[in-house]
Structure 1
Amino acid sequence: MMMRRMGAVFLAGGLTVLAGFSAYAASGTSALPPPDPTAKNLTPYMIQLRAFDACLHTQSQLLKTTREAVHTPCSCYAKGTVTAMTKDEIQAFRDTGYFNDSAREKGLGFIDQCKLKRPI
């Protein structure tokens, strides 16, 4: 009986600690990854290649298939997204290494249009 109570106390304590860490992580100011210095001089074509590669990796995992199986839809997504980006969105990508909010919205539209699975 005493062991059962001790186990419950440790379990409750552990859950409290985990909840505290989760709240701390959610309230942190570093929700975004640090800027990627290698993106500074990328051309739109090079940004497209990065988007294509990231799509192949992500979609093959999400859909539990091979990269070859998502090659065409990922090409559709990468070309469409980068072509639709404004000069400001391209520059924002160069500054950070990831899509800003408006470019991300365009990307989600192309994920749908190219029949891929949304990662979020």
Structure 2
Amino acid sequence: MRLATVSGAFVFVAMMAAALPALASGTTAPLPPPDPTAANLSPAQIRDRAYNACLITQAKLMAAPRETLREPCRCYARRTIAAMTKDEINAFRQTGYFNDSARAKALEALDACKLRRPI
């Protein structure tokens, strides 16, 4: 379980770290190498990774206990994965992080769920 949390946090942080340059300049920042553990993940497992990463990242950003972020992070994970297309899910499986279009949906979900953007 610890590996999944760390991996999930890595995915979320990589996704958010790449978002600012993409939004600011129209190009993406160098991304981390593909995560081979993502290859066979179901959408529910991707949602779980997003949820766990959200808890870790938002707790740091908001200096709040993870317990207080459970519902907003569930909101974020559900909205993000539900909005993703099959192509975006497959892109995630190939890399272990959200592509540009899925990243934009994740940022929208952060806003809708009243979470902080880590950028």
TM-score (norm 2): 0.75
* Structure with more relative contact order (C-alpha pairs < 8 Å, separation 6 or more): 2
- Residue of structure 2 equivalent to 1:105: 104
- Residue of structure 2 equivalent to 1:82: 81
- Residue of structure 2 equivalent to 1:58: 57
Structure 1's consecutive aligned runs of 4 or more residues displaced over 4 angstroms after TM superposition are: none
Show structure 1 runs of 5+ residues with no match. Answer: 1-29
- Same amino acid, percent of matched pairs: 62
Who wins on radius of gyration, i.e. which is larger? 1
Q: Tell me how large the CA RMSD over aligned residues is.
A: 0.9
Whole-Å Cα distance in 2 between the matches of residues 115 and 67 of structure 1?
A: 15
Show structure 2 runs of 5+ residues with no match. Answer: 1-28
- Residue of structure 2 equivalent to 1:95: 94
Whole-Å Cα distance in 2 between the matches of residues 34 and 108 of structure 1?
A: 22
Deviations, residues 55-114 of structure 1 (Å, cap 9, x unaligned) = 000000000011101110000000000010000000000000000000000000000000
Whole-Å Cα distance in 2 between the matches of residues 66 and 100 of structure 1?
A: 29
